Structure 1
């Protein structure tokens, strides 16, 4: 028997915008419900940032143990010329699970303390104001909301490859299932050299797996500066990863040791044998079971919900936030969606903030990290054809702190308006690249010209002081 409950606000999905937005509305005195089908916290806490960076931390420790001799430190009392890292994958996984559980529990506590009704089930639209879901007892519930916010996120795209159904499915992995492995793969083949693919590829190489990347495009990180992407490939190859560019998987078949994968390259057809295969080839929105068409909500051809710059959908009083509205799919962008809506709907006097022209930073947690903010060089030249665009490139080997820590691989690159000195974009492939990039982002937010960073007194020896020196390479 269906029941019907009225709310002023309903949030569908508990991601990094939906969870704080629900709490904000509830604290403001509006009757609020949040419907979540699985785990509080969304993909960031459960399958994304939190667990993957926890695993990557374990991988870095294994890497540093093996590098100990380079620093004059060894771990084997009876064999001082050998450094061995023994990886306990069960312990690595449990550490990840414990941290995820802690973050998830904290999010749920904040929701309930704020007075949000947390409803468990998968929501579908009945009409523009009405949703139904099946609760844990199997009862169909109906709820109505004056305002509805869609925060259902996205999931890994399913693998599309001839023969994939013939494999032991435990060996067929996506970005979620790979985090639950209880042993290090013998040979992990990664399909896709984007952000997700490179992080997992390097992680499992450091944990002890043989790793091969099959990348369709001409470079890793296809959206990034070609020179930096080439440098990342060199770093990977130094660390023992095999990288095939301009390559397309054709078919896969079981073998006694796992599988054989045939793939096509510009130099002909090739075959690789592996034990596990990770598909890191994109994500699809979780709108297929939401039935947004019942609420007259427009979607694009990929199923992402279309919004305007104020996060409004084509249906009055329905908004979309986070990854479900399409790229860029970053946690901090999702959280900024929350901040914009909180300000526009709950502040006094009301504001009219938008997502238009916001500066988008991001970090790929390879080691060294790759970080970027603003425009790449070619983007700047296309967007501003009449500006005098200048670039500055500097190897991390010119940074004293990087040399002192023996972490000098990589480079940084800045793009500036040569007439005003304003920074248009910045990339850093280097130790703590995300932290260096964030300093530049703050300068961009404040319209601080590069000369101010060049002439600032920055403490020595820090990574930040590299921002004194890079501008000497402007051309």
Structure 2
């Protein structure tokens, strides 16, 4: 049995950085990864998908160049093999960067293999026993595959396998109308495929307010993407011309060349032997943690997607920051201090922070709301990209900003004005007197705040 000061299981966006901080402090750390360093973000998530989004946008801009007075002779084509290789290059550069980084750290032992608990202090991997007084789980999540009639009879894609495609689907049917599915829908439509989105619920991006969900649907439909919601009888079978997808509610069956299943994710916790260490999970398999990311077992913490407190790279990295600050810096950082923010990378993107209007109303507060269409934003008009709107919600009593959404050009960047203000606890009357730069999307934030009204 080999002994370490700490064992980190999983090399996503928490584990490697925590291991590096502990090594810097003179600790001996084992970092165990069953597949690739970097986790979902590097290998099958943010980095490759946003690279694909960029390629799709380049095709879209080229096709619409005439409206800007730019003439491009001939038909705009997309070489899917080049698109795939570009995403693969981004993956490998990031992955190899991590490999090189750890190669220069004498205190970190990187072990590739499938780790399982023997007990609360002992891990087995590749037939070897490892022990440490501190164990951190950063095992991530994977695509969820729903139990739908016929799904076991077809060859379907997931958000992981579709990244490796180097051919263009004739007709891509996407099951699931949330963030992952919508990004791939617009992306492949811009590459040139026919695309249909099928969502079991009544709205796309169902965690958003209805006005945002409806605007997202309008943006996608305007690009020729078919959208079916409230699809209550989804089923599959193989046909002579492809995969036949039944939707229900009198909608004709759809024949797809490819089907992408994008119905959420499940944590990679079912094969770790958690029961041997008596580590508690919730009914969905997420590891239960307290406000400092500790599990119910002393000396074991869970970071990143597997703890159910945010399925984003930035929340996973913040888990590392919390764990490192508490362990190494003598601080008192808490999960509950985090103000959740995220983005949906369709084009135009959605930037979101804090409460939605629905959540704010449900809280019982007296709230104020302001909205402004992107048609009244100078940057959007100059760029000819005026779809979407801006929205902010504030507490009428405390004057604190409760949440904001920017669905529009550069919304994923402009939202940081609200993120920073909320983290600094700046009240909206103070922020509305800021003097931002013209012409930008962010310059509308003071104006938007000045129009807040009680509802």
**TM-score band w.r.t. shorter chain:** over 0.9
Structure 1 residues 28 and 155: CA distance shift in structure 2, 3 A? same
Please say if residues 249 and 261 of structure 1, whose CA atoms lie closer than 8 Å, have aligned partners that are also in contact. no
Shift of residue 461, structure 1, vs aligned partner: 1.0
Shift of residue 296, structure 1, vs aligned partner: 1.0
Please say if residues 394 and 473 of structure 1, whose CA atoms lie closer than 8 Å, have aligned partners that are also in contact. no
Aligned counterpart in structure 2 of residue 89 of structure 1, from 55, 59, 80? 80
Shift of residue 395, structure 1, vs aligned partner: 0.3
1:11 is the counterpart of 2:8: yes
1:359 is the counterpart of 2:356: no
Per-residue CA shift, 1:282-333, capped at 9, x if unaligned? 1111111101111110111111111111111111101100001114211111
CA distance in 1, matches of 2:92, 2:199: 34
Corresponding position of 2:323 = 341
Aligned counterpart in structure 2 of residue 160 of structure 1, from 120, 126, 147? 147
Aligned counterpart in structure 2 of residue 270 of structure 1, from 252, 255, 263? 252
CA distance in 2, matches of 1:189, 1:31: 49
Structure 1 residues 249 and 74: CA distance shift in structure 2, 3 A? farther
CA distance in 2, matches of 1:91, 1:160: 35
Corresponding position of 1:209 = 193
Shift of residue 159, structure 1, vs aligned partner: 4.3
CA distance in 1, matches of 2:450, 2:229: 34
Q: TM-score, normalised by structure 2?
A: 0.97
CA distance in 1, matches of 2:153, 2:44: 27
Per-residue CA shift, 1:216-236, capped at 9, x if unaligned? 111110000110110111111
Corresponding position of 2:42 = 45
Aligned counterpart in structure 2 of residue 127 of structure 1, from 105, 113, 119? 119
Please say if residues 401 and 461 of structure 1, whose CA atoms lie closer than 8 Å, have aligned partners that are also in contact. yes
Per-residue CA shift, 1:31-70, capped at 9, x if unaligned? 1010001100111111111110011000100110111011
Please say if residues 219 and 245 of structure 1, whose CA atoms lie closer than 8 Å, have aligned partners that are also in contact. yes
Corresponding position of 2:348 = 368
**Number of residues paired by the alignment?**
452
CA distance in 1, matches of 2:7, 2:450: 53
Please say if residues 18 and 149 of structure 1, whose CA atoms lie closer than 8 Å, have aligned partners that are also in contact. yes
CA distance in 1, matches of 2:184, 2:190: 10
Please say if residues 395 and 402 of structure 2, whose CA atoms lie closer than 8 Å, have aligned partners that are also in contact. yes
Please say if residues 304 and 319 of structure 2, whose CA atoms lie closer than 8 Å, have aligned partners that are also in contact. yes
Alignment of 1:12-411 (within 5 A): 12-76=9-73, 84-115=75-106, 116-134=108-126, 140-167=127-154, 169=155, 172-265=156-249, 268-347=250-329, 350-383=330-363, 385=364, 387-411=365-389
CA distance in 1, matches of 2:63, 2:256: 24
- Give the 3-state SS of the residue equivalent to 2:384 in structure 1: coil
CA distance in 1, matches of 2:150, 2:357: 41
Please say if residues 68 and 74 of structure 1, whose CA atoms lie closer than 8 Å, have aligned partners that are also in contact. yes
Shift of residue 25, structure 1, vs aligned partner: 0.7
Please say if residues 22 and 111 of structure 1, whose CA atoms lie closer than 8 Å, have aligned partners that are also in contact. no
CA distance in 2, matches of 1:217, 1:159: 14
CA distance in 1, matches of 2:58, 2:251: 37
- Give the 3-state SS of the residue equivalent to 2:293 in structure 1: coil
Shift of residue 453, structure 1, vs aligned partner: 3.0
Per-residue CA shift, 1:354-404, capped at 9, x if unaligned? 101410110111100011101111211222x2x420100100110001100
Please say if residues 176 and 197 of structure 2, whose CA atoms lie closer than 8 Å, have aligned partners that are also in contact. yes
CA distance in 1, matches of 2:367, 2:290: 31
Per-residue CA shift, 1:439-461, capped at 9, x if unaligned? 11101111212233322211111
- Give the 3-state SS of the residue equivalent to 1:122 in structure 2: coil
Per-residue CA shift, 1:411-440, capped at 9, x if unaligned? 011001123332110001001111111111
CA distance in 2, matches of 1:85, 1:470: 39
Corresponding position of 2:433 = 455
CA distance in 1, matches of 2:442, 2:251: 46
CA distance in 2, matches of 1:37, 1:353: 30
Please say if residues 310 and 316 of structure 2, whose CA atoms lie closer than 8 Å, have aligned partners that are also in contact. no
Q: TM-score, normalised by structure 1?
A: 0.93
- Give the 3-state SS of the residue equivalent to 1:224 in structure 2: coil
Aligned counterpart in structure 2 of residue 432 of structure 1, from 410, 421, 432? 410
Q: What residue ranges of structure 1 are gaps of 5+ in the alignment? A: 135-139
Structure 1 residues 246 and 222: CA distance shift in structure 2, 3 A? same
